[in-house]
């Protein structure tokens, strides 16, 4: 039986909209709306907190939607296919990007240490993120994901809660990154590497939120629902 599409209304939750309307995640990130770790809130409530017009956000999603027409609906894909996508795309890209971000942050701090605008502490922070993310990916790939693919959802509740808690920690780390970088806005005197670092950190944030959303609001939700049924 066909699933009724989630309507684009202020009462729909951020998570529901991000699952059903692929363009929504891009719009939410642009407006600073957390649809992954706190995606259970209605759009209206989340917009009110940030002084945004929910109707304007909905219109932006409608404008973006044609460009996302070929986006895969992962909420409708088989669980093994979704897990393979998470590992082959998001996990792979994290392992490739984080060492480069770490190296760039160290270079910027070393070269511009005498400037008042230097993002002091950013390199150490990115190094901490790198370690935490690698540890998290290992737990998913070695423990939780094989469990879900094997249909052992009846014992997955505990590991899922641990992963969700670590996702919350990742969200806190993203907020700290913005605090250390004046909201990822480079100063006028920033060199090319400095500007490129902030641009890549912004892209990293967007992709990590997309990744966490797929796990929290699609994979984990479906795995537990299939067990409950």
Q: What pLDDT sits at residue 20?
A: 82
Q: Which of 37-51, 55-69, 195-209 is the least confident region?
A: 55-69
The two three-digit tokens of residue 24, written as one number:
């929504």
Q: How many CA atoms lie within 13 A of 66 on its CB side?
A: 2
Domain that holds residue 29: 14-68
Contact residues for 207 (Cβ-Cβ < 8 A; gap 6+)? 90, 93
Q: Helix (H, G, I), strand (E, B), or coil: what is residue 35?
A: coil
Together in a domain, 40 and 133: no
Average pLDDT value over all residues in the chain:
90
Together in a domain, 57 and 116: no
Together in a domain, 116 and 52: no
Q: What pLDDT sits at residue 167?
A: 97
Together in a domain, 50 and 102: no
Q: What percent of the chain has pLDDT over 70?
A: 93
Together in a domain, 206 and 98: yes
Together in a domain, 208 and 117: yes
Give tens-digit pLDDT for 144-186.
999 999 988 778 999 999 999 999 999 999 999 999 999 999 9
What angle in degrees, to the nearest 10, is found between the helix axes of 157-180 and 192-213? 160
The two three-digit tokens of residue 160, written as one number:
């899922």
Together in a domain, 216 and 160: yes
Label residue 51 left, alpha or beta by phi (over 0 means left) and psi (-120 to 50 means alpha).
Answer: left
Q: Give domain status of residue 5, yes or no.
A: no
Together in a domain, 34 and 103: no
């Amino acid at each position: 039986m066909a699933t009724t599409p989630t309507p684009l209304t202020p009462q729909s939750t951020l998570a529901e909209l991000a699952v059903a309307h692929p363009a929504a995640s891009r719009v939410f990130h642009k407006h600073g709306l957390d649809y992954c770790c706190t995606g259970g809130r209605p759009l209206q409530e989340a917009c009110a907190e940030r002084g945004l017009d929910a109707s304007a956000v909905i219109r932006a999603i409608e404008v973006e939607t044609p460009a996302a027409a070929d986006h895969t609906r992962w909420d409708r894909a088989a669980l093994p296919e979704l897990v393979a996508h998470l590992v082959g795309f998001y996990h792979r890209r994290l392992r490739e990007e984080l060492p480069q971000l770490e190296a760039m942050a160290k270079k910027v701090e070393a070269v511009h240490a005498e400037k008042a605008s230097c993002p002091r502490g950013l390199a150490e922070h990115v190094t901490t993120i790198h370690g935490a993310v690698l540890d998290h990916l290992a737990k998913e790939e070695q423990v939780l994901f094989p469990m879900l693919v094997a249909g052992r959802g009846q014992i997955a509740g505990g590991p899922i809660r641990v992963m969700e808690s670590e996702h919350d920690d990742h969200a806190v780390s993203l907020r700290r990154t913005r605090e250390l970088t004046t909201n990822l806005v480079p100063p006028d005197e920033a060199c090319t590497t400095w500007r490129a670092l902030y641009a890549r950190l912004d892209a990293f944030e967007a992709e990590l939120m997309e990744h966490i959303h797929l796990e929290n609001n699609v994979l984990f939700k479906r795995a537990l629902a299939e067990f409950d049924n």
